[in-house]
Amino acid sequence: MGGFRVWGRVSGGWRRGLGVCSRPRHAGCDARARRQPQPRGSDPSGAPGWPRPGGLGREELLDALRAAQLHREGPLVTLNKPPGLPVSGKPGELTLQSVLPELSQALGTGPLQVVRAPGKEPSGLVLLSSCPETASRLQKYFSHCRKAQRPTATYWAVTDGIPTPSEGKICVALALVHTDDVSRVVPVKSPSRKDIVEGVKRTLSHFRVMATGSGCALVQLQPLTGFPCQLQVHLMLQLCPVLGDHAYAARVGTVLGQRFLLPADARPRTQVLDDALLGLLRLTPAQATRLPLHLHLHRLLLPSTSRRGAPGELLAPLPPYFSRTLQCLGLPE
């Protein structure tokens, strides 16, 4: 798969009538988001509301996860995951799955398993189940919706830049490449059948700009495929990287005010924000290098409990740092 060339196709026309509200409900994402308890071990940079899951011990992480519980009904438990917490990892690493036995005991449930969760860097909804049959049924539902191209997950993102057009879909083939012990996702132009067999996957996301201000945007994203860092790469290809994306934002360069895509870099670099944006966010350049990823799994659809009923939904309030950024940029929640 040598000689990858960037390929991105964006077409207008937000799909409606997919059994999903085109405008996510904002209820619960204002006062509740600001009141959300934060884990101990806050960021030493002094920036408010920046959790540091990687700096927590096992007991502190359990305390944080107990405080992050959003809802519990029957065998289902939902959490609001902070950014930077991996769901799974190598043996011995501190991850969500590694503490599930203790968390199950602390919550008084049967053994919990992960049904749906965002990746390591995004924040947001984690759906757990203590019933294997319920977990299997939900996973089949999500798989069926994915095959039928019906989105079940809605993310919110703050982008450095404003996507054009303001709504549509992003279709691009992606591959996960490993170089010098570093993994990165790269777009692949016109993949062959051999490329697909070797791990290239065609990916698709819907997007809609919900608000703009100060050269940034609040964007709603609904992935229809699952691939590592899919949403981050899709927005990077739009030349509007997610705030706090220290893996792919460096591929967007600027000359005389015009943005362009740089060749894929072997190693991620921290995101560099211009002085005007740093001033609006009230951050120093050093603080900006530790800015959390502003990508949040806000809404998740569940199957209806009746044949003709509407799908159920779960909502996760925004993290305080996300709300703070919206306020600084003059963007509504």
297 lies in some domain? no
Supply the pLDDT for residue 148.
93
pLDDT more than 70, % of the chain = 81
247 lies in some domain? yes
151-207 pLDDT, tens digit per residue, is 999 999 999 999 999 999 999 999 998 877 788 999 998 888 888 878 899 999 999
Residue 265 has which token pair? Answer: 């870099």
User: Are 29 and 298 contacting, i.e. CB atoms less than 8 angstroms apart?
Assistant: yes
Supply the pLDDT for residue 215.
96
Supply the pLDDT for residue 268.
73
327 lies in some domain? no
Task: Name the residue range of residue 252's domain.
Answer: 9-14+155-288
Instruction: Report the 10 Å Cβ neighbour count for 57.
Output: 11
Q: What stretches in the chain show pLDDT beneath 70?
A: 1-49, 51-54, 265-267, 306-311
276 lies in some domain? yes
320 lies in some domain? no
Supply the pLDDT for residue 179.
79
Whole-angstrom distance, CA of residue 215 vs CA of residue 239: 12
233 lies in some domain? yes
34 lies in some domain? no
User: Number of structural domains, the chain?
Assistant: 1
DSSP track, 77-132 = EEEEEPTT--SS-STT---TGGGHHHHHHHHT-S--EEEE---SS-EEEEEEES-H
Supply the pLDDT for residue 310.
66
Whole-angstrom distance, CA of residue 39 vs CA of residue 122: 16
Cα dihedral 67, 69, 70, 72 in deg (nearest 10):
-140
User: Are 293 and 242 contacting, i.e. CB atoms less than 8 angstroms apart?
Assistant: yes
Supply the pLDDT for residue 195.
80
- Burial label for 302, CB within 10 Å (0-12, 13-18, 19+), is middle
Supply the pLDDT for residue 247.
93
Place of tokens 């902070």: 82
User: Are 160 and 240 contacting, i.e. CB atoms less than 8 angstroms apart?
Assistant: yes
Alpha helices by DSSP H, listed for the chain, are 31-35, 58-67, 100-107, 132-147, 193-197, 230-237, 275-281, 285-288, 320-329
245 lies in some domain? yes
How many CA within 13 A on the CB side of residue 29? 22
Cis peptide upstream of residue 165 (ω within 30 degrees of 0): yes
